[in-house]
Structure formats: C-alpha cells, structure tokens
A and B are shown apart, each in its own frame.
Chain A
Amino acid sequence: MEHTSTLEKVLRGTAITLVILFFMFPIFWIFLMSFQTNETILRVPPSIVFDPTLSNYTALITGKLDTAAGTLEISFMKNLWNSLFLSAASVAVGLVLGVPAAYAFARLKFRGSEDIAFTLLSFRFAPPLLVLLPLTIYFQQIGLADTYLGLIWVYQLIVLPLILWIVRGYFEDIPADVEYAYRIAGHSWGATFRKIALPLAGPGIAAAGLLAFIFAWNNFVFALVLASADKQPVTVGALAFVTASGIQYGQVAAGIVLSILPTFALALYAQRYLVEGLSLGAVKG
C-alpha cells in the first residue's frame, strides 16, 4: 500500500515547477533577449519567435558597441576580468584573514571578543555611501585610489564580516572534545586547527566563500567611486550600455548573461561540494 498518493506527487511536482518558473523566468527572458536586436526586443507585443543573432556577444567581446549614433568603444571583457580578479582576490584575502579570526572568536573567549566580533559585523550596517567620501580622500592621499590593492582592501568591508560570522558558527559546532582529543593525542594546536577544525568546518568555509564571492561580485558603489575605467568591474562597466542614443537592451542582456556565468558555475560546483561536505559532517554524531 502506497502512502504517498499519485495525486500528491503530481501536485507537489506542479507546485515546484511553478516556483521555479517564477524565479527563473527573468533569467530565461534575459537569456533570450541576449540573442535579439534592440528592434525585436522592443516590438509590441513581445514574442519568443525571432531570428537569433550573436551580434550582441560579438560586440561585447570585440569591445565595439554599435549604437544609432555610431560605434562606441567599451571594455566589457576587461571589466569582466576585473570582476573576476577583484572578487576572487577579495575572497582569498578574506578567507586567509577571516577563518583564523573566526576560529579565535569561536574557541578563545578573550576579553572583549564579543565586542570586536560585533564591531566587525557592524561594518555591514553602515550604508557604504557614508564611508565613501572620507575613504576616497584617504585613498587619494596614500595612493590607493584606483588600484587593485585599494579595492581589495575596501572589499574586505563586505567580505570579512560575512566570512567571520558564518565560519565562526561552524567552528562553534565542532565539539571542543574532538579538538581536545587530538591535542591530547600529542598534536600542537596549530596541527589541530589544520587537521581537525579546518576539514570539519570545510563546508561552512566553502559556503561563506561562495556567499562572499557573490557579494563582492555584485558590489557597485565602492568600485564606481574608487576605480577608473580600466579597474572597473562589470557592475560599473554596465553603465556604458546606457548611451546617449538609448539603452542597448540586447547588449545589456548579453552582458548580464556573461557576468552571471562565473558565479553560476561556481555555485553549481560548490553546491556539489557543499552537499557532500554537509552529509559527511557527522560532527555531532
């Protein structure tokens, strides 16, 4: 006797499909738009029947934007590379700094540890615009404005609190006894951190890294103010599509498709790892 009836299964499937459609439709629509010219996109009523064209992608990759007013030089691919580099480097720096710090906050209850951890989190409360002006002035003074280093540094405001707070939770979930057991077995605390804490918090670190990457990738304001054209990420670079002669929807769409690809790929890859890691983590059992 089956307990879950066929009707129940069908209903469940339909509901899930509807939710997926709702969330995936914009992305799907943009994907279609990226293969259309401005004219087909803007026709009324819209239709999914059209002659696909790769012109938007070629324009982006060659850096030549065709507008009604003529050809415009854009540096989309450079921006994409900047985004990749800035986000990856920021997350790398964030992990190197944040993971040991998270471990310290999780394991060592030193004086003021809670206050410091909270202060770090509070960086996320302030609107970036608030700190932007003084930051710009400082950066210009010390020569960090319009450098990768300066941007990566500023990006730590976004990345570091995120990594710190997520990873800290994972470290706290590892029973202290497991680490004690490793130390009593004769290993230094450094070895215990590397061989016990890091592997067991692995899924958490991966999740935090992924989230931090996405946040860094999507940042706009810091990069807009602190970076010039050749250091700009895609988020800022996309402004170029808003031209004097109108918005190039097709190229915007193609730009979006290209710019979500890396995060999309990373999420897919990391998801496999996350699931594996989480099911392996019988830390509490």
Chain B
Amino acid sequence: MSLQLTDIVKSFKEDLVLDGVSLDVATGETLVLFGPSGAGKTVLLRLIAGVIEPDEGSIRINGADMDGVEPEDRGIGMAFQNFALFPHMDARENIASPLIARRESKTGIKRRVEDVARLLKIDHVLHHKPKELSNGQKQRTALGRALAGEPSILLLDDPLRNVDAKLRFEMRLELPRLLKDQQATVIYVTQDYKEAMALGDRIAVMSGHGIAQIGTPEDIYLSPANTEIARLFGDPVINLLEVTPERGEAGVQVKLSGTAVPINPGYTGSIGHSCILGIRPEGIHFADAGTPGAFPVTIEAETPLNEKTVTLAATENKREILISRPSGTSAPDSGQAHIVIDSGAVILFDRATGNRIALPATDAAKGGAA
C-alpha cells in the first residue's frame, strides 16, 4: 500500500523535532530513513504507526486519512531497535501476537508462525523466552513478529543495530529478498550508510527537523545535496578541498598543488571565486609523475579498512587528502607520490552554503541499473 505524509509537524514540549515533513512512498517500495540520532527518524516511524500523534499535517495509508485511527487498526508491522519483545511470552507467542489479535484459527496460527520461523531460521528456538535467546535470535523473533501478520506497511526501526557484524551482514543480504517476498511497503530506519545504500530503493536523508535530500542510492552518493550529506555517505569520508575554478585551455579547471586539474565541463558556477571541491577517496589514484593532471603529495600514513588500504597524504600546502584503493594493489612505497583526481567524480559545493552547485557530467555514465 502507498503511504503519504503531508506537512508533518511534531514537537515534544518546546523541542521541535519535525518541521513540515512530506513523503510519498509507493506500494512495494523500500524507503530508507537515514540520518544522525535526534534527526527525528524514530519519531516519524512512531507517527506512522500511530502510537504518537502529529501536531499538524496528515498521514494517509492507501489514500485513507489516519487521523484518529488507532495503531491496531492501521495494518502495520513494526520491528523495534531494542526488539521490544514480550518478555513473559516465548518466541512462538511473540510471533503469533498479530495473528492472535485477528482471531485466526489455532492451526492457521501454528502454520504461519512456523513458516515465518523457518524463513528466519529460528524454528528451533520457538519455545524459548526472549531472555533465553541470543541477540541474533531476538532480532529475528522481532522481525518475525513484524512479518507474521503480513502487514501492508512494514516499519523497521534500525533492526540490525544491536546485532553483531556477521549477522548484520547476513541480514543485509537476506532482507531485500524477504521484503520483496512480502510485497510490503517498507520504511527502514538506519544510521549505517551501507545498510541504507544496500536496502533502499530510495533514501531520505533526515537532518535539521526535516528531509534534506531524497533519492536513489546513486543520487545520494554521486550527487549529494550538500557537504553534510556528502560526508555522511562513504567510508573513509569524502575529501573536501577549497579551490578556485578558473578558465584553462581545456575548459574549467582548478589548481591543486600548482597543478591544473580539469573539472566538470558543464560547470556553470562563478569563475575566480572559491568553492569546495568534493572528491571521494576512491576517486583519487596514484599515477606516474608525468601523467596529465597528476600532482605531488607526501604519504603520511596507511591503514587497512575492510580490504581497502586508506592512505593519508598531504599536498604541498599541507592539505590532507584521503586516498583509498583495493588492498593488494600496488602503491608507491616512498614518502613521495603523485596522484590524479578522476575529474568525472568531482562534486562542487558552494563555499558559503555547502550546497552542491554543479552536477558531474558523468552522472549518467556512473548511474544505471544494478
């Protein structure tokens, strides 16, 4: 079912949390709400679930206004970050609770609970109380409870936050299939950008009481609306360098360590005024000294990060640059090296507002079907 939020305003006492949030989620879509804690992601989920009421604005599920509709009547399933399992009921009763509420037959409930449990690989612990379950099993039980009633809208509040890395990764691979099978409309809250990119059909980045940018993972990663969002996606973090665009022989260019680096030919911003050049660490490569656009840096430190090697280097005027490359690929081992910037991956931001000012021309080439 589709979900529409229109101009939602919500504050707690004097604290304004959401200020005019509008959101349109299509049937069967997985929308990720991403942002730092305190950005109002969880509040938004709770408003949709109906356990709190908005001060202003409307929530529509499949066109029907939810004002005054109790949580139990909204046809929603929800998994909580802290699992919120019923401690006095075993896993079976926990998962069965939405079915019991609908007064389904005993055999029907048993069958559905066991199907869900098998899918989530917890069928062997159904008789355990929550305190006897491992964290991973708790998480799956919570997910099973949310899925059991085959809700048309599924709200998942950072469900992988409290499980270990291995399980989190496995679930990240499994979840999309699980969710597509359910054919539910999913709102997924996370603080982990990898989860957001892996799971979201679209990502809504929340900051400052509202949605700062909404788009596909490509949109957000390749064309972040501002420097703040650019910094939230990607590990290691994007390089942001102050530069001054100028006209060169091959179009617009900037000078880095005295070397002219061509930037987006479609750049329409002002010339001669400084702006922020954003380049992700994987958009920088080591090169031979003679390569066009290559400029010298001093290598300061190298650290491994998930099969990548991250190099911290400094330009001639002591600006720090992070460069990442797949582990095992060669790099200059001396302290001095030359690097080139992939001009197609450059993102430019306004210096005063931090907003992105030009689309890299190679967007179309970078995007496309997964």
Q: Which residues of A contact B131 (CB under 8 A)?
A: 282, 285
Q: Is the beta-carbon distance between B87 and A283 smaller than 8 angstroms?
A: yes
Determine whether B145 belongs to the interface, using a CB cutoff of 8 Å to chain A: yes
**Please, what's the 1-or-0 string for A227-265, where 1 marks a CB less than 8 Å from any CB in chain B?**
000000000000000000000000000000000000000
**A149 vs B101: C-alpha distance when bound (angstroms):** 40
Hey, which chain B residues are within 8 Å of A183, CB to CB? 51, 70-72
Chain B 180-233 residues near chain A, CB threshold 8 A: none
B145–A181 CB distance below 8 A:
yes
- Residue B86 lies at the interface, judged by CB distance under 8 Å to chain A: yes
How many Å from the CB of A91 to the closest CB on chain B?
Answer: 24
A177 at the interface (CB under 8 A from B): yes
**24 A-B contacts (beta carbon < 8 Å):** A175-B82, A177-B84, A178-B85, A178-B86, A180-B78, A181-B80, A181-B85, A182-B86, A183-B72, A184-B50, A184-B71, A184-B72, A184-B77, A185-B98, A185-B101, A185-B145, A186-B72, A186-B149, A196-B86, A200-B88, A282-B129, A282-B131, A285-B87, A285-B131
- Does B257 count as interface, using CB distance less than 8 angstroms? no
Taking the nearest CB of chain A, how far is it from the CB of B73, in angstroms?
8
- Whether A280 and B88, one on each chain, are in contact in the complex, defined by CB atoms closer than 8 angstroms, is yes
Docked pose: A62 CA to B70 CA in angstroms: 62
Q: Which residues of B contact A (CB under 8 A)?
A: 46, 49-51, 70-72, 74, 76-78, 80, 82, 84-88, 97-98, 101-102, 129-131, 145, 149
Footprint of B on A, CB under 8 Å? 175-178, 180-189, 191, 196, 199-200, 280-283, 285
Known: A185-B98, A285-B131. 16 other contacts (CB 8 A): A180-B51, A180-B71, A181-B80, A181-B86, A182-B97, A183-B70, A184-B50, A185-B77, A185-B97, A186-B72, A186-B98, A186-B102, A187-B97, A280-B87, A282-B87, A283-B87
B149 / chain A contacts, CB cutoff of 8 Å: 185-186
A-B contact count (CB 8 A): 73
Q: Which residues of A contact B97 (CB under 8 A)?
A: 182, 185-187
Q: Tell me the nearest residue of chain A to B71, going by C-beta.
A: A183
Known: A186-B72, A186-B101, A188-B70. A177 touches B82 (CB 8 A): yes
Please report the C-alpha to C-alpha distance between residue A182 and residue B149 in the assembled complex, in whole angstroms: 12
> With A and B bound together, what is the CA distance between A252 and B71 in angstroms?
60
For B74, list chain A residues within 8 Å (CB). Answer: 184
Contact B98 A180 (CB under 8 A): no
Take A186-B149, A187-B97 as given contacts and tell me if A180 and B49 are in contact as well, using a CB distance cutoff of 8 Å: yes
Chain B residues with Cβ under 8 A from A185's Cβ? 72, 77, 97-98, 101, 145, 149
In the complex, which of the residues B82, B97, B130 has the most CB atoms of chain A within 10 Å of its own CB atom? B97
Among A182, A191, A283, the one with the most B-chain Cβ atoms within 10 Å of its Cβ is A182
Determine the chain B residues whose CB is within 8 A of the CB of A191 once the complex forms: 101
Query: With A184-B76, A186-B98 given, is the CB distance from A178 to B70 under 8 Å?
Result: no
Q: Most B CB atoms within 10 A — which of A176, A183, A280, A283?
A: A183
9 closest residue pairs by CB, A with B: A186-B101, A177-B84, A282-B131, A185-B98, A185-B97, A181-B84, A183-B71, A180-B51, A186-B72
